[in-house]
Amino acid sequence: MQLAYSAEEICSIVNPQRMAGATTETVRDIASLSSAATGDLSFLAASKYKAEVGGTKASVVLLPLDYAGGPQPNQLFLFVEQPSLALAKLCARIEQSLWPKPPAGIHPSAHVAAGAQISPHATIGPLCVVEEGVKIGDGTVLIGSVHVGRGAQIGEQCLIMPHGVIGASCVIHNRVRLAGGVVIGSDGFGYEFVKGRHLKVPQIGIVVIEDDVEIGANTTIDRARFSRTVIGEGTKIDNLVQVGHNVIIGKHCILCAQVGISGSATLEDYVVLGGQAGVGGHITLRKGTKAGGQTGVAFDTEPGSFINGTPAIPYMLERRLQVLHQKLPDLFKRVEYLESEIKKTSAAGE
Amino acid sequence: MQLAYSAEEICSIVNPQRMAGATTETVRDIASLSSAATGDLSFLAASKYKAEVGGTKASVVLLPLDYAGGPQPNQLFLFVEQPSLALAKLCARIEQSLWPKPPAGIHPSAHVAAGAQISPHATIGPLCVVEEGVKIGDGTVLIGSVHVGRGAQIGEQCLIMPHGVIGASCVIHNRVRLAGGVVIGSDGFGYEFVKGRHLKVPQIGIVVIEDDVEIGANTTIDRARFSRTVIGEGTKIDNLVQVGHNVIIGKHCILCAQVGISGSATLEDYVVLGGQAGVGGHITLRKGTKAGGQTGVAFDTEPGSFINGTPAIPYMLERRLQVLHQKLPDLFKRVEYLESEIKKTSAAGE
Amino acid sequence: MQLAYSAEEICSIVNPQRMAGATTETVRDIASLSSAATGDLSFLAASKYKAEVGGTKASVVLLPLDYAGGPQPNQLFLFVEQPSLALAKLCARIEQSLWPKPPAGIHPSAHVAAGAQISPHATIGPLCVVEEGVKIGDGTVLIGSVHVGRGAQIGEQCLIMPHGVIGASCVIHNRVRLAGGVVIGSDGFGYEFVKGRHLKVPQIGIVVIEDDVEIGANTTIDRARFSRTVIGEGTKIDNLVQVGHNVIIGKHCILCAQVGISGSATLEDYVVLGGQAGVGGHITLRKGTKAGGQTGVAFDTEPGSFINGTPAIPYMLERRLQVLHQKLPDLFKRVEYLESEIKKTSAAGE
């Protein structure tokens, strides 16, 4: 990053409710309170770091309205309702200046089929392939080397990073963000076992990705056997996640990296899955279910469940069982002792 | 999907042994019995759904020969030996009409090295790179943006989706289907630890993929250190699977998504691995071994084994241990009670 | 592989300290001692295979200096300090001849932005995209279809395989090797939960990859929220690994396939993670920590720890607990027996 923001520019972006102190430094980087140096901007995101504000060397600090201390010399405190949101706002501005949106239009090296309907306000970057019947909406950007299959539809203001694949007939709504190497609409994994061989079941359904979804690098979303695989509005999916065919994911879910969802599973709204968690086929995770990392979910869950382990059980129970599991050596000894005592008792009783 | 098949067209494709009823509807979609609406085709794939046939709104229903009930008004029942196979046949036809095979020939934007031997009946789509010494057989299709390394050989009737990488010297037989973003022939993960550094062991072997193999999106298959990594005939591999160097996979295996196979492991024929399962290096899984999802296989297995857990043990034992594991809180209480009783007995005996 | 090396050529490459026997065969392949045939070169890599040397059919065998036996007729023994290193040297030579480095220069089909600084000794293969402000050093090779984002810097003698993505502003040092489909600099997975929606936290940091790092196929490394995600010198990362934002990985670490590292975790030097292991966010693994496959690391470790299981605990303890876990059916029976004995004792005492 090569930033250069004056204190005034920072103020105009984060729009603080109150200020204290002043600095002549230009902000050139962002850092945590403890690692910040002169010229950095820092922030108090969680009250547990409050003690670090007094000693930070940051030139500008974003603080919550109720922070009581004052700045050091040549240091500017900006008081805002939520420092992390103010920071996000600042970073969004920085992002735009670092990597500005490319101009609209179709790069001469892109291959766009005749009859594809590309908005004049969309950007088709170098070496993209856009097949027949594709529609792409206003403000959508394909950075480069993206493949959009026959009849796929992409809405407005989407951002598709290099080497993404949008399979034939798939539908992507608005403000969707796909990271590098994403594959949308790969065939579902379906076979019939006939005479010792796995016969392919053609996968003729599609994938629908609703508004404001974000999908991480090299993640794969299979098309439905028939009908639709759905990623609901506002859901965020991390890198290297697998979503099987006919999976229905609700709104505002979080799937951390390397999660795997087997075919025909249903995730209702606000489900959160930790990294490397797996969900079995045809399972339903009710609204707000949370699962820890590496959890293996084999059964339907109740709304608001918090589960852990393989097979997944309620989180607090799983933690308790882990504690007891680690006491097994002791338990075996205790049982051995009891056995020797019983032997004595029996011997004495004879 | 935008389908439009008359009842007559459906009959000519699935060729039923018997029919009952009739419909004037055009089939426009496929759906499960319970979710189907007028204009949909549905099917009875497993007898547990038999009760749903009576109430389905589907206009056409594929049923097994022994199904006893009759159709509703404006509903057509088609009786076939295996409804799921009949459906597969129908879907294959739909697939062809939705996404017809592109015409043979080399797209002008593809980069094919002089001397590469491309069948005139093969299709090299836009923006593919085909290096020196490559051979590609009749009817094989590279959809677009596929990279085929120096000296690789691809047989007949293969389908390679966008952004696939076929590494140098690798050999792919016939009717192989590779999903988007597959990497075949990446370097095996081999190093010698010398003087505090990991020295690369060059990986000069190849990958051989036999007939009728299918490999899922963003899956990676490493080339051998020397000799060959082999994927046997008819084996099906899902998305995001990792196959290490010198792995030998037999015929008609099933590897679900996110499985990882460490270097030099051997899977005999008909092995089935659930999602996210891992197999250790130099392990042999004998014919027909089945492993549950997230299983970690650390030892060789017997033919026909069904294993689960990490480290993997026989499935029924693993299930039983899980049940006992969940009874640990009770067991600890029971041992405490025994201890208090023994104490009393000892005290009484003194 | 199509090799053809005379015994003399082999000698000139591995430079043996001592020889025994002779062969008239041309070396056409490399194989293990037990599987080698006439015309193959083999080697004794570990003393446990010593008994196989006597019966091997290999025409040339690399042996450690202290191996006592002698060759068969038409067989050449080459004695070297470390056979595996001698083999690596030979394989490196073979690699060069099989897949020679392409000539320097920019392929006419590549799209290189005006002002990008490409060394005249670098190779930009077909259909690469190199955006504004990029710098690429001497001897670096982009095989083809690689996307290098705005302002990224790549050092000298790097090798980047097809379909790699180097994100904007990321920095790659020297002799780095990136396999097919790698994504460097995808957005970190960061959101603020505001009014029922996940608000994106822009990720404006970068990824820094130090000298001699190797990264496997379809692996993803997220850019930092701000500041840097770092992969330390000499670290080797296998396929399909996920490295979250702001992760700091030290020097000479080994991350096996499908490992996942959550955001802001720190791995000190010489950490080794088995396949499919997961590391929680903000965790520190101290120098030399080793974790088994599928381990789930939830807490900081001590230097030199060897851990296993989920949640991870010391390896030997985890093994012992596994053994006791498998004795649970017996333990439950023993407790039942004790309960019946206690009952008798109590009854007798009344």
- How would DSSP label each residue in A47-94? GGGGGGTTT---SEEEEETT------TT-EEEEES-HHHHHHHHHHHH
The span from the CA of B281 to the CA of B278, in Å, is: 10
Tell me the pLDDT band of B3, cut-offs 50, 70 and 90.
confident
Contact B195, B157 (CB under 8 A): no
Interface probe for B, chosen from C43, C143, C211, C239 (most Cβ of B below 10 Å), is C239
User: Do C154 and C182 share a domain, yes or no?
Assistant: yes
Is beta strand A197-200 parallel, antiparallel or unpaired with respect to A191-194? antiparallel
Tell me the pLDDT band of C53, cut-offs 50, 70 and 90.
very high
Partnered with residue B206 across adjacent β-strands are B228
Is beta strand A60-64 parallel, antiparallel or unpaired with respect to A40-43? parallel
Partnered with residue A290 across adjacent β-strands are A272, A306
Tell me the pLDDT band of B349, cut-offs 50, 70 and 90.
low
Angle between helices B83-98 and B7-14 (to 10 degrees): 110
User: Do C139 and C224 share a domain, yes or no?
Assistant: yes
Exposure string for B290-319, b = 16+ CB within 10 A, e = fewer: bbbbbbbbbeebeeebbbbbbbbbebeebe
The answer as to whether C258 is a domain residue is yes
Would you state the structure tokens that stand for residue C152, as one six-digit string? 């990224």
The answer as to whether B157 is a domain residue is yes
Q: Structural domain tally of chain C?
A: 3
Residue B31: give its domain's CATH number.
3.40.1390.10
Residues 56-115 of B with CB under 8 A from A: 82, 84-85, 87-88, 91-92, 94-95, 98-99, 107, 109
Chains that touch C (3 or more CB pairs under 8 A): A, B
User: Do B149 and B171 share a domain, yes or no?
Assistant: yes
Q: C121 an active-site residue?
A: no
Interface probe for A, chosen from C124, C127, C129, C340 (most Cβ of A below 10 Å), is C129
Chain A residues touching B35 at Cβ < 8 A: 227
Q: CB C227 to CB A31 under 8 A?
A: yes
The answer as to whether A277 is a domain residue is yes
Given B42, B69, B98, which residue is the final one in a domain? B98
User: Do A309 and A329 share a domain, yes or no?
Assistant: no
The answer as to whether A166 is a domain residue is yes
C-alpha distances in angstroms, C161 versus A138, B152, B183, B305, C142? 34, 15, 10, 40, 6
With H, G, I as helix, E, B as strand and everything else as coil, classify residue B48: helix
The answer as to whether C260 is a domain residue is yes
Structural domain of C334: 323-349
pLDDT at B257 over 80: yes
What is the pTM (predicted TM-score) of this model? 0.96
Contact B267, B282 (CB under 8 A): no
Chain B residues touching C339 at Cβ < 8 A: 334, 338
User: Do A38 and A154 share a domain, yes or no?
Assistant: no
The span from the CA of B152 to the CA of B146, in Å, is: 13
Chain mean position to CA C103: 28
Tell the burial category of C1 from Cβ atoms under 10 Å away from its Cβ (0-12, 13-18, 19+): middle
Of A191, A341, A342, the CB nearest to B236: A191
Tell me the pLDDT band of C269, cut-offs 50, 70 and 90.
very high
Of A198, A218, A313, the CB nearest to B234: A198
Tell me the pLDDT band of A306, cut-offs 50, 70 and 90.
very high
The answer as to whether B44 is a domain residue is yes
Q: Calculate what percentage of chain C has a pLDDT beyond 70.
A: 99
Interface probe for B, chosen from A107, A129, A192, A320 (most Cβ of B below 10 Å), is A129
Give the model's pLDDT for residue C349: 62
User: Do A214 and A275 share a domain, yes or no?
Assistant: yes
What is the nearest CA distance from B308 to chain C, expressed in angstroms? 13
- Does C30 touch chain B if contact means CB atoms closer than 8 Å? yes
Average pLDDT over residues A205-232: 97
A84-98, A143-157, C183-197, C289-303: least confident range: A84-98
Of B206, B278, B324, the CB nearest to C1: B206
Q: Whose structure tokens read 């000539």? A: C103
Of A98, A180, A326, the CB nearest to C165: A180
**Residue-averaged pLDDT of chain C:** 95
The span from the CA of A225 to the CA of B29, in Å, is: 12
Catalytic residue among B173, B245, B282, B325: B245
Give the model's pLDDT for residue C252: 98
pLDDT in tens, A41-88: 999 988 889 999 999 999 999 999 999 999 999 999 999 999 999 999
- Does B301 touch chain C if contact means CB atoms closer than 8 Å? no
Q: Whose structure tokens read 């989706």? A: B161
- Does A292 touch chain B if contact means CB atoms closer than 8 Å? no
Residue C258: give its domain's CATH number.
2.160.10.10
Q: Calculate what percentage of chain A has a pLDDT beyond 70.
A: 99
Contact C148, C170 (CB under 8 A): no
Which helix (H) or strand (E) element contains residue C14? helix C7-14
Given C98, C129, C161, which residue is the final one in a domain? C98
Q: CB C144 to CB B129 under 8 A?
A: yes
Chain A residues touching B48 at Cβ < 8 A: none
The span from the CA of A206 to the CA of A221, in Å, is: 10
Give the model's pLDDT for residue C134: 98
**E strands in A210-310:** 214-215, 220-222, 228-231, 236-237, 242-243, 248-249, 254-255, 260-261, 266-267, 272-273, 278-279, 284-285, 290-291, 296-297, 306-308
**E strands in C4-128:** 18-21, 29-30, 40-43, 60-64, 76-80, 105-106, 111-112, 117-118, 123-124
User: Do C120 and C249 share a domain, yes or no?
Assistant: yes
The answer as to whether C166 is a domain residue is yes
Contact C146, C152 (CB under 8 A): no
With H, G, I as helix, E, B as strand and everything else as coil, classify residue B252: coil
The answer as to whether B1 is a domain residue is no
User: Do B163 and B32 share a domain, yes or no?
Assistant: no
Tell me the pLDDT band of B12, cut-offs 50, 70 and 90.
very high
Interface probe for B, chosen from C34, C123, C276, C315 (most Cβ of B below 10 Å), is C276
User: Do A245 and A138 share a domain, yes or no?
Assistant: yes
Of B192, B320, B327, the CB nearest to C84: B192
What is the nearest CA distance from C191 to chain B, expressed in angstroms? 25
- Does A227 touch chain C if contact means CB atoms closer than 8 Å? no
Give the model's pLDDT for residue C38: 96
Alpha helices in chain B (DSSP H): 7-14, 83-98, 315-326, 328-349
Give the model's pLDDT for residue C119: 98
What is the nearest CA distance from B96 to chain C, expressed in angstroms? 29
Nearest residue on chain B to C3, alpha-carbon basis: B204
Chains that touch A (3 or more CB pairs under 8 A): B, C
pLDDT in tens, A221-243: 999 998 999 999 999 999 999 99
The span from the CA of C131 to the CA of B317, in Å, is: 57
Q: CB C322 to CB B311 under 8 A?
A: yes
How many residues would you count in chain A? 350
Q: CB A88 to CB C321 under 8 A?
A: no
- Does C196 touch chain A if contact means CB atoms closer than 8 Å? yes
Sheet holding A206-209, edge to edge: A117-118, A135-136, A153-154, A171-172, A206-209, A228-231, A248-249, A266-267, A284-285
Tell me the pLDDT band of C68, cut-offs 50, 70 and 90.
very high
User: Do B124 and B245 share a domain, yes or no?
Assistant: yes
Higher pLDDT residue, B2 or B1? B2
pLDDT at C320 over 80: yes
A184-193, B87-96, C129-138: least confident range: B87-96
pLDDT in tens, B313-332: 999 999 999 999 999 999 99
User: Do C167 and C62 share a domain, yes or no?
Assistant: no
End-to-end CA separation in angstroms for chain C = 85
Given B81, B98, B115, which residue is the final one in a domain? B98
Tell the burial category of C78 from Cβ atoms under 10 Å away from its Cβ (0-12, 13-18, 19+): buried
Tell me the pLDDT band of B350, cut-offs 50, 70 and 90.
low
Give the model's pLDDT for residue B1: 53
pLDDT in tens, C228-263: 999 999 999 999 999 999 999 999 999 999 999 999
The span from the CA of B107 to the CA of C103, in Å, is: 25
Return the ∠ at Cα A217 (arms to B259 and B177), rounded to 5°. Answer: 55
User: Do C47 and C138 share a domain, yes or no?
Assistant: no
Give the model's pLDDT for residue A349: 62
Catalytic residue among C245, C252, C282, C325: C245
pLDDT at B95 over 80: yes
pLDDT at C187 over 70: yes
